[in-house]
Amino acid sequence: MAQNQSNLPVQQINEHPIVKYIEQRKDDLLAIMPKTLTPEKMMKFAINSLQRTPKLMQCSIESVYMAFAECLRCGFEPGVFGKAHLVPFFNGRTRKYEAQFILGYTGMIQLARNSGEITTIEAHLVYGRDKFQYKVGEIPHHEPCFDDDRGKIRLGWAYAKFKDGSYQVAIMSLSEINGIMNRSKSKDKNGRLVGPWVTDYPEMAKKTLIRRLSKYLPLTIEAQQAIMRDDEKMYDFRQANVLDDLPTNDTVGTDKAKEILKKKRAEMAKKKDDEVTGAEPPEGLFDNFINEKQVKKLCATYTKTGIDEKTVKAFLEKQYGIASRKDIKKEWFDDILAWCADEANAGLDPADVF
């Protein structure tokens, strides 16, 4: 994820509003970042990030702060060793640049190692001219071809070894990797992929393999949360059944690994049963969604502007990945009202706009 270095002097970057804002909120950041990081290192990370990726200075202050905070929570310096990245994206709804934290392939490996239970973890892509043999229940035998032309990518595999000698293996076909890629939210208004899957496909493919493997690893709570937040930002998994997404024949391991998998399946099955039996949701679960009064206001706006239900549904699915008005988050409410006004004035299909 190479970026153009800034030619601005350090002193000028020090005076930038983003740096000033981070300085003002440093106490909040110190509370969430690892104790090994000092306030001086934190501010150095911030300045280096703006130097490394100048377009971040065009992003909203709040988005840079939130992305930077996410990076510090994991204990990473943005853009170093590929562990994490602060990436500027253009938001078509707000017409502004916004920063987003993206967890890197090596960062995901580091988070897995933080549990202290894993001695080795790695991911590899198998190319057309590589030698690759695999038997269910065993570690794959992979001999890479070191010629200039290795051929096209055929599949990928990831491997983790625990302290007691047990191990876990995950294998994904090229179609499975690309299936995850196609769920990426990083698409332009025409639905074409943009972002790291286009510029850094091998790294994203390896990250996908580690993500698949991580479902069966003894991760820390912090690592689980970081991976989950990264998934929520990067992918649309609404159509994926989480139980079906757990592979059977392509993920194998020794007894300890199988125990972890069995426990995970039981937890996920219980969660699914709770949803079916109508178990009480955690307090505050729906606080982020619009209330009944706001739903009625939207319906009244649709009627007043003459926008039909089909057009509204198409817009919500394309822009936010939702199918129901009840799934609209409060933070989107004003933007959707503004879209209604624009739609009424322009008379355009939202698919032509976004």
| 160 burial level (CB within 10 Å; 0-12, 13-18, 19+) | buried
pLDDT at position 284: 45
Cα 149 from Cα 137, distance rounded (Å)? 31
How many contiguous H segments (helices) and E segments (strands) does the chain have?
15, 8
Beta-carbon count within 10 A of 336 CB? 22
Cα 165 from Cα 284, distance rounded (Å)? 43
Provide the β-strand partners of residue 173.
Answer: 155
Window from 82-96, 258-272, 329-343 with minimum mean pLDDT: 258-272
- Report pLDDT digits (tens) over 218-267: 888 888 888 888 877 676 544 333 333 333 334 445 555 556 555 655 66
Strands (DSSP E) contained in the chain are: 84-91, 96-103, 118-127, 131-133, 141-143, 153-162, 167-173, 251-253
What is the pLDDT averaged over residues 137-166?
92
pLDDT at position 222: 82
- Report pLDDT digits (tens) over 30-62: 888 888 888 888 898 888 889 888 889 999 999
Q: Is the pLDDT of residue 165 over 60?
A: yes
pLDDT at position 247: 38
Instruction: Tell me the whole-structure pTM to 2 decimals.
Output: 0.60
Region label for 102, one of left (φ > 0), alpha (ψ between -120 and 50) or beta (otherwise): beta
Q: Is the pLDDT of residue 170 over 90?
A: yes
pLDDT at position 288: 61
What is the pLDDT averaged over residues 14-31?
89
pLDDT at position 152: 93
Provide the β-strand partners of residue 132.
Answer: 142
